[in-house]
A and B are shown apart, each in its own frame.
Chain A
Amino acid sequence: MPKVQLAADAAPGRGGRPRRVASSLAEINVVPLVDVMLVLLIIFMITAPMIQRGIDVNLPVARRAAQISGERVFVSVPLAYRQNHIVYLGDEPIRVEILRERIRQQMERRSDKQVYLRGDGGVQLQELMDITDRLKDAGVETVGIVAKMPGER
């Protein structure tokens, strides 16, 4: 325990009694603590942005990946929806009036009541909200709005 001895050595200067082993420790030497904390802080500062962005991860290739995403229900709203009111359930074009019934049929047998809404950027928010209402009416609990990252194609 070299630090304790060092503190004890310093004691004679104040009390005038050398070699008093029982004298109290005047103050904690915080220098090593600060060193360690600084190192930890720097490590976190560097890693935190990387964790958030999740970049530079090379996803493994798996043949089943496409099947899992295929079980999800996607409703696509193309720009032409504004004229013909036709949405796509998966890749099947259906009129928006019967979307609620078709989704209700799909939700009946599912435990996760989720639908992913793929709206064209040119579709108005009001129109997407209208479709979201129809989905909620059909028993959908979570409507995910699918977006893409800048630069992603």
Chain B
Amino acid sequence: MAVAVAATLGLVSPGARSQPRQAPAQQPPPQQPSEISTIISGEASAAPRFAVPDFIASSTDAETVALAKTIGQVLWDDLNFERDFALIPRDIYSTIPAAKSFDDVPFDRWRELNADGVIVGTVQKTGTGVRVDVRLFNVRSRQSAFGKEYSGSAANPRLYAHTISDEIHQQQRALRGVARTKLTFASDRDGERMRGTVESRGVKEIYIADYDGENQRRVTTSRSLNITPTWSPDARSIAYTSYQKGAPNIYISNIYQGTRDDLTKDIAQSFLPSWSPDGTRLCFMSTRDGNAELYVVNRDGSNPRRLTNHPGADVSPTWSPSGTQIAFTSDRTGTPQIYLIGADGLGLQKVTSEAYADRPTWSPAPYNEIAFTARTGPGNDIKVIDLATRQLRQLTFGEGTNESPSWSPNGRHLAFMSTRSGKSQVFTMARDGRNLKQVTQGGNNSQPDWSK
């Protein structure tokens, strides 16, 4: 998998490469200002305004030029996704002379555009791949606020941009970016037919994609119904429900090893796996005792333990970030509603009072919220309930049906399925419902899950 090719990171102290050796001698006082002002701030509490021009290709061959262009563009998109920086639109950059190196950045021109920071990078072809060198300059002080050098394969240039974006978010805003996270979802896009069935039904397979919908890949090839994929916390395995042996059972695909584990070993029908936050256990729904109840097992399928016991159906579990509680859907009071239960099976409480509520998903810290699917009319919409205040907010408003929300690992975004553009497709949006973005295109794509 190309995603396995991680860039090797070489640390370079900010600005060290661009300054001549004798610089300290010429400036007797220590350069303390440049050390202190590595955080770039905007004017009067506004978000810092950044410009990300195309990276500088060190040679003129088409491949290096294309790499440099791609990295700059993807980095712009990645930084813009979190909305923590105000990004100057790219189309205005053509009016500014492109820098040839770190030493001739036209700071006056960027200042004229009100930029607070400008990110300049160089791309150089090496014997084994590429070397990407990046600086974030403070446009006012002309000092480097962030500098790093990466080298590795040229197969996936987007990964360099994603890495730079996450590190700049971390260093400048102490924010965990999502640029290197991934989505998994079920799709029928390949139009295959199920083997061995009389009516030759359509199949669904599990796919993965980058958070922005790029690099989509298929994970399963069982030509059966494979649904409800969910990432393990280390993002190296995907647990999902599959009908490949007839009855639905839960399997775990270790995507980097190419192996598959059978979690429920064909005992009755099992659905909807959910990983504990430490990745050592899974919770799922099973009918092994005759009724739909929740069970917790270890990662290797050992030590199964029944969590719920009620004649109603208990389905769709999701763990709290601390691992001490599990939210799930139950129809024990008539219509499906969201409930909480301790991981030890104690402390049951009802959370929602909707007409119909299903598919809860617990947000990561610092938010303590549960997003779920609620029936609001002919279709469904995504709603979020704050567990501390029990305040409810609605994020989608009747455009098609909107289901299966999943939080990004920093809690600032949600992936979900919507039929607003025709077929079911995976969308992402900010936690306030804005910045909607369609991630998938072909076929029907549903049940997204965002890697942790």
Binding site for B on A (CB under 8 A): 94-95, 97-98, 100-102, 104-105, 108-109
Binding site for A on B (CB under 8 A): 46, 49, 86, 88-89, 92, 95, 112-114
Task: Give Cα A94–Cα B88 distance, bound, in whole angstroms.
Answer: 16
Other contacts beyond A94-B112, A101-B92: 19, CB < 8 A: A95-B95, A95-B112, A97-B92, A97-B95, A98-B92, A98-B95, A98-B113, A100-B92, A101-B88, A101-B89, A101-B113, A101-B114, A102-B113, A102-B114, A104-B89, A105-B86, A105-B114, A108-B86, A109-B46
Task: Give Cα A104–Cα B87 distance, bound, in whole angstroms.
Answer: 12
Task: Give Cα A95–Cα B112 distance, bound, in whole angstroms.
Answer: 9
B112 in contact with A98 (CB, 8 Å)? yes
For A101, give the chain B residue with the smallest CB separation. B92
Task: Give Cα A98–Cα B113 distance, bound, in whole angstroms.
Answer: 7
Task: Give Cα A104–Cα B46 distance, bound, in whole angstroms.
Answer: 15
A71 to chain B, nearest CB (A): 15
Task: Give Cα A108–Cα B114 distance, bound, in whole angstroms.
Answer: 14
Task: Give Cα A109–Cα B44 distance, bound, in whole angstroms.
Answer: 12
For B114, give the chain A residue with the smallest CB separation. A105
Task: Give Cα A95–Cα B86 distance, bound, in whole angstroms.
Answer: 21
- Residues in A with CB closer than 8 Å to B89 are 101, 104
A100 to chain B, nearest CB (A): 7
- Residues in B with CB closer than 8 Å to A94 are 112
Task: Give Cα A76–Cα B49 distance, bound, in whole angstroms.
Answer: 25
A95 to chain B, nearest CB (A): 7
- Residues in B with CB closer than 8 Å to A101 are 88-89, 92, 113-114
- Residues in A with CB closer than 8 Å to B114 are 101-102, 105
Task: Give Cα A104–Cα B114 distance, bound, in whole angstroms.
Answer: 11
B177 to chain A, nearest CB (A): 23
A-B contact pairs, 19 of them (CB 8 A): A95-B95, A95-B112, A97-B92, A98-B92, A98-B95, A98-B112, A98-B113, A100-B92, A101-B88, A101-B92, A101-B113, A101-B114, A102-B113, A102-B114, A104-B89, A105-B49, A105-B86, A108-B86, A109-B46
For A96, give the chain B residue with the smallest CB separation. B95
- Residues in A with CB closer than 8 Å to B113 are 98, 101-102
- Residues in B with CB closer than 8 Å to A109 are 46
For B49, give the chain A residue with the smallest CB separation. A105
For A94, give the chain B residue with the smallest CB separation. B112
For B88, give the chain A residue with the smallest CB separation. A101
A45 to chain B, nearest CB (A): 55
Task: Give Cα A102–Cα B89 distance, bound, in whole angstroms.
Answer: 11
A93 to chain B, nearest CB (A): 9
A70 to chain B, nearest CB (A): 16
B118 to chain A, nearest CB (A): 14
- Residues in B with CB closer than 8 Å to A95 are 95, 112
For B109, give the chain A residue with the smallest CB separation. A98
